[in-house]
Copies of this chain bind each other. A is one copy, B any other.
Amino acid sequence: MLRKIVPIVLAALIAAPAATAQAPSAAQILAASPKSDWRELNPMNTLYMDLDRGRVIIELAPSFAPRHVDNLRRLVSDRYFDGLAILRSQDNYVVQWGDPNDEEPTARPLGGAASKLAPEFTRRDITGVVWTPIPDRDAYARQVGFADGFPAGRDPDSGETWLLHCYGMVAVARGNPADSGSGSQLYAINGHAPRHLDRNMTVVGRVVAGMDILASLPRGTGNLGFYSLPEQRTPINRVRFAAELPENQRIPMEALRTNTDTFARVTEARRNRKDDFFHVSAGGIDVCNVGLPIREPR
């Protein structure tokens, strides 16, 4: 009873609490899943951002933002982010990093990367994308689910699909023009999903490890949570693709495939929790609360 309230998704991966045979817990379902239910993160699409506080790992979504991911490849291969910093931490909104002077004459050169890119806010054709809808209601999108392992919304009429601004999702900051983002500044969601940004921003991926580091940064006291003084910023030591590092310096990770019975059962176990703690089942789930299990390979 010292634990006064129950574990969440990732905590559930650590310990499998007792549950009845009739209603296995999410942790029990995951523990019993076959290896084939998991996919290895592609080192070519996995970014490591190293801070003094630790490593932030980001899985990129090239199937939704191919141009922006390509631009990030150029920036990272130019070591663009090394020595830049976390510029902004606005409570219950975003943490943002990159070049604070990216619109000034003193901007860090973008090398072979583009300074503006046609937006990738939505995608019309999802041929080849693994699309796993869920039936739950959503305040913003007509239909929600998971696209290539990322939370996504869909409009059955227009046929558009887009990635969502859930907690931990990463997107490209921009000015007013839709094409004004390049990746010179990126942000991650650190609070309740600001879903009004959906379809207005190019979402490029999600933080799969280290979000606790970004989310616990001191809030900036300047306008919009920007740090008022340069010395308040957290330096970025380096950003690399996993594929750039020797194998023994990589952190192998697996994500649960969404098009599996395991994923459906885990989601249902979270939608209707059945254990001694819960007296009422929710009966539904917010797409941003589904949780996308990540683990080290077994």
Binding site for B on A (CB under 8 A): 1-5, 7-8, 11, 14-15, 89-94, 96, 100, 103, 121, 136-140, 166-168, 173-176, 178, 180-181, 185, 187, 191-201, 211-212, 215-219, 223-225, 270, 273, 276-280, 282-289
Contacts and interface: CB of A to CB of B under 8 A. Distances in A.
Given A137-B138, A192-B289, 9 more contacts: A8-B93, A11-B90, A89-B216, A92-B168, A121-B279, A137-B137, A176-B276, A200-B277, A215-B215
Contacts of A283: 140
A98 B208 CA distance: 31
Contact of A1 (B2, B180, B218): B180
A1 B140 contact: no
5 contacts: A15-B223, A91-B216, A166-B192, A212-B219, A216-B218
A121 B194 contact: no
Tell me whether chain A's interface is mostly helix, strand or loop, or mixed.
loop
A177 to B, nearest CB: 9
A288 B192 CA distance: 8
Nearest to A173: B4
Nearest to A3: B224
A215 B118 CA distance: 35
Contacts of A225: 11
Given A277-B176, A279-B178, A5 B289 contact: no
Among A167, A176, A284, residue most surrounded by chain B Cβ atoms (within 10 Å): A176
Ranked nearest first, the 5 interchain pairs of A and B with the lowest CB-CB distance are A4-B173, A1-B175, A91-B212, A196-B282, A212-B219
